[in-house]
Amino acid sequence: MEKNTSRFFSNFSLGITCLIAFITLILLRVVYVIYRSGKPLNRRSPPQAIATLIVLGSGGHTAEMINLLLVLQKDRFTPRFYIAAATDNMSLQKARVLETSRADSQSGVEGISAEFMQIYRSREVGQSYVTSVWTTLVATVHALWLMIKIRPQVVLCNGPGTCFPLCVIAFIFKVVGIRWSSIFYVESIARVKRLSLSGLLLYKLQIADQFFVQWPELQRKYPRAHYVGCLM
């Protein structure tokens, strides 16, 4: 009996040691990813086609994002994947209009350079926080599914709640080694003195590689952010 008990305990302590070692490795990897994410990619020559995920949000969010996309080189940042919340009807429509109008100006375009997808929302405006737990879980699983399909190299977002699970998953992909992506977050122009919840989380957890703000007060408050002036 005693032999069995002692073997059990030695196996148990071995298991615990392995678990601790494993967790430590993951934490070290996370620290390394955060450290490495803060620096530009060290490349000899710029990449030719950067798969880009663009997260759209209702109202002003999409308008601001479109403003940014107009000045982003579309032949470099391609293919483009647009994601909007399932209950948001206007955003994908506006994105389609943008893509069609830009495709017209270029002749001989082959292949599909843009795809449009919808994602379940973590939380609707005014939804109770209790039911939000379940809907956030569903949204996260859906986000995981979409991210595995897309595996973007760049994530562009500007604030809607839908972007947070997507950014977290992109970060996890970096830690686990599925895909190294650069996450760029532009805080909305409507945020003058305080960050939005998504922005605050992405800033504090250092998930975003580059964090842009449009008003100088925010840059003073959050020094790791870049002040880029008004986009609209």
Partner 1 sequence: MGESKDGVKGKRVVFVTVGTTCFDALVKVVDSQEVKDELLRRGYTNLLIQMGRGSYLPTKSSGDDGSLAVDYFTFSSSIADHLRSASLVISHAGSGSIFETLQLGKPLIVVVNEDLMDNHQSELAEKLAERRHLYCARPPTLCQTIASMDLKSLVPYSPGDATPVAKLINRWFSIHHFSDWHAIATAKSAQLVRKYDQPFILSGDNKEWKSLLRPLMID
Beta bridge pairs of residue 185: 157, 211
Q: If we measure between CA atoms, which residue out of 113, 199, 214, 125 comes closest to residue 157?
A: 199
Distances (CA, A) of 3 to 9, 12, 109: 10, 14, 73
Which of 7, 76, 149, 220 contacts partner 1 by CB under 8 A? 76
Out of 29, 30, 60, 151, name the contact with partner 1 by CB under 8 A: 60
Distance CA 186, CA 200 (A): 12
Of 8-16, 23-31, 71-79, 139-147, which segment contacts partner 1 by CB under 8 A?
A: 71-79
Verify binding: residue 41, partner 1, rule CB under 8 A.
yes
Region near partner 1 per CB under 8 A, out of 52-60, 113-121, 131-139, 163-171: 52-60
Tell me the C-alpha distance between 86 and 189, whole Å. Answer: 24
Site membership for partner 1, residue 187 (CB under 8 A): no
- Residue the block writes with tokens 């922005």: 199
Residue ranges that bind partner 1, judged by CB under 8 A: 40-41, 43-47, 50, 58-60, 63-64, 67-68, 70-73, 76, 154, 182, 184, 186, 188-194, 196, 209-210, 212, 214-215, 226, 228-232
